Structure formats: C-alpha cells, structure tokens
Amino acid sequence: MSTQNKLGLETQIIRTQVERTEFQEHSVPLYLTSSFIFEDAEDMRASFAEDKERNLYSRFSNPNTSEFVEKICIMEGAEDGFAFATGMAAVYGTLATLLNAGDHIVSVGSVFGSTHTLFTKYFPKWNIQTTYFDVNHPEEIESKIQENTKILYVESPTNPAVDILDLEYLGKIAKKHKLIFVVDNCFATPYLQNPIQFGADLVIHSATKLIDGQGRVLGGVTVGRSDLIREIYLFSRNTGPALSPFNAWVLSKSLENLPVRIEKHCENALKVAEFLENHPNVASVKYPFLKSHPQYEVAKRQMKLGGNIVAFEIKGGIEAGRQFLDKIKLCSLSANLGDTRSIVTHPASTTHSKLTEEERLAVSITDGLVRISVGLETVRDVIADLDQALNQV
C-alpha cells in the first residue's frame, strides 16, 4: 500500500491503492481468490505465526478489502479497521467481540431496526442487557449507566427522524465512566463527520448506503482503536463475516468519488428541505442544516454538511402519509437509502407499523413522518414530484 500523507483528503482516497503488479495496471485489479500461496515451509510457518504481515486466506484479509479499509481509516482518522459483509455484520461482530455475558449497553433508543432487534431479542440470550436513552434527553445517560455497563452506543443523525446527538458531550461521558464509545456513522458518512475526533473508540458504517451510493452491493466496516480492532479481527477471522473481495473492490472505487457525490447529495437535500418548509401541507421539516432543527448548532459543529436525509411531518397523519406514497411518481418507494435515486418512505405505515403508537413516539416516529433519501437526480425534478404528490393529499 502506498499512503501519501499530508496530501488533500480526496487525493489520499484516490491515490491509496494496492501495489501495482508487473502488468502495470492503472486501475486496481480484482483479487478474486479465496487463498494465497507460500514460498516454502518457513514462509508458511512465519505467516501463520504472524511473524510477517501478509494475506493468507480471504476470510482473514485480501488486498481489495485491505485497500477499502485503509481508505476508510484515512477518512475517519482511525488507527485500524476490519471490513464486514454487511453493516449488520459489522454491528454484530464488533459488539460480540467486546461484550461478555453479564455486560450492559447504554444506547440511544432510535437505533437502526436490526440493531434494535439484536439488543432486545438476541443479546438477552447471553445475558447482555441494553438500556435506551431518549435522543432528546441525553442528560439522562449518566443515570442509566450501571456498574456492568461496557458500551455507549449511538447513531447520529438518527434514523428515520434525523435527530442529532452531541458527540463531544457523549465522548466525555464515555471517558468519565470508562465506557467503549461506539458510533454508527452511517447517515453522516466518513466525509461529513468523524466521531473519533469527539472521543469515539470505534466507528461503524453500513457501506451498503452512501459509501456504495448506487444501491449495488452490501458491505460494512468498523474502524478505530487498534487494540480493539485487533480483537475484532481475531473474532471475525474465526467466525467468518468477512467482506467479499468483489464488494470491497466496488466499494473502494466508490470512495474515490464519495466527496463529490456527498457534496451534491447535501446540496440537493438542503434544497428539498427548504422547499418542504414552505409547503402548506407540511407541518414541520427536520434537516440538520436547517436553522429550525432543534440541534442545528450541534450539527454545524460536528458535521461538514447536513447529509442527504430529510424528514418531514405531513399534515393529516397516517392516511395522508399513505396517500402521499401512492401519488409519488419519480422517487422510489424503497427501504434502502443513500442511493443516486431519491427514495421516500413512510415509517408509521411500513417499517414501524408493528409498533404501538407509544413505542413509535418514543423513537420520534410520528404518524405523518415521511423520510426522504435525496438522490442525485436534477433536484427540481425531485421537488416537482414531491410537490405534485403533496398537492394531492
């Protein structure tokens, strides 16, 4: 690998790549191989004993995967990392490595759906309990910390309500109580927000979203403190959640244009948010870089731009939300996010319809909440689609 320090971020991401082979290829080849060969018995012994750093087997490491991880480390300011097959494999692999039976997690209540299922359905099987705090009351966190609390876990911005948590404040609490501070940074991407700077020990991404950015492949990654990554590596090397070399190759190439894509996503999202603020059928809009966002000042401090997710409250509740989805023509109705294509969802009637109203409100999902993942289409076309749908509700 050739990492070129002190160069600009974009240059570093674009110019970090696996060493060229004798063919002098310009673009990085795909190392689609499950294993690697050894010169002789001594080479093989030394490799397995980790006396030398090299690729042995693609469940452990692969050149394409290592390149992808190195780029994420550069962007996040992290010491080391490990890449996973999906974002959920990263969440599970990371936490399963760190937690022992009897340990306790303090987490923000509004976490990604499968993370919530992991915390409430599967971890309790191993006597690992989770206590949630309300995203709008982070001052409650300290009262939730117990003697056996090991991890402080958050997402910011949150899904789907786009609430913001003050990472610096959380970083200080984690340090004071000697907790491992883990941030799922998926919505912000490594381009907009770097939690390590605010005290995070580990940062997780679902690379499936904006890192791929084109809805093609699944992937995940965890980066951060090298001592913790070492443990995560050893756990993963033996349990098998590794990212495929093909997906790593796709994702590493995607990172080369992540900065320009994200700049445009954010520019479009801000325009969509401003349009919605002035629409008569919209009760309220939440976007981190709108002055009306309750945590606008915090968002400005910790994020470079506001991201591509806009949430708004449609007047008329659940029925209006459903009608709105039915009238949408250009945007996609899909549960994914962070695609070049704009996507709209209405959580109360779809992804979160099994929750009671009380449970939904606890994670800021009101009846009329609509989430838009703003894509890269010509933004006036996206706005026109939202406008015609809103006007028919």
Q: Compose the 138-167 pattern: x for residues touching ligand PLP by CB under 6 A, - for all others.
A: -----------------x---x--------
Q: Is 186 in the site for ligand PLP (CB under 6 A)?
A: yes
CB 342 within 8 A of CB 375: yes
**E strand or H helix at 262, and its extent?**
helix 258-277
Instruction: Kindly state the number of chain residues that form the binding site for ligand PLP, as judged by CB under 6 A.
Output: 14
Q: Is 82 in the site for ligand PLP (CB under 6 A)?
A: no
Strands 332-333 and 343-345: parallel
Closer CB to ligand PLP, residue 71 or residue 389? 71
CA atoms lying within 13 Å on the CB side of residue 226: 5
Q: Is 86 in the site for ligand PLP (CB under 6 A)?
A: yes
Q: Is 218 in the site for ligand PLP (CB under 6 A)?
A: yes
Q: Is 220 in the site for ligand PLP (CB under 6 A)?
A: yes
CB of 219 to ligand PLP, least distance (A): 7
Q: Is 308 in the site for ligand PLP (CB under 6 A)?
A: no
Measure Cα distances from 182 to 107, 152, 170, 317 in Å.
9, 6, 10, 35
Q: What's the 3-state SS for 266-296? A: HHHHHHHHHHHHCCCCEEEEECCCCCCCCCH
Q: Is 364 in the site for ligand PLP (CB under 6 A)?
A: no
Closer CB to ligand PLP, residue 313 or residue 339? 339
Asked if the peptide bond before residue 157 counts as cis, ω within 30 degrees of 0, the response is yes
Measure Cα distances from 321 to 21, 274, 325, 330 in Å.
55, 20, 6, 17
Closer CB to ligand PLP, residue 17 or residue 373? 373
Integer Cα distance of 19 and 28 in angstroms:
9
Closer CB to ligand PLP, residue 99 or residue 389? 99
63, 87, 93, 171: which one binds ligand PLP (CB under 6 A): 87
Closer CB to ligand PLP, residue 209 or residue 265? 209
Closer CB to ligand PLP, residue 107 or residue 159? 159
Closer CB to ligand PLP, residue 259 or residue 338? 338
Q: Whose CA is closest to 204, among 190, 222, 219?
A: 222
Residues binding ligand PLP (CB under 6 A): 86-88, 91, 112, 155, 159, 184, 186, 206, 208-209, 218, 220
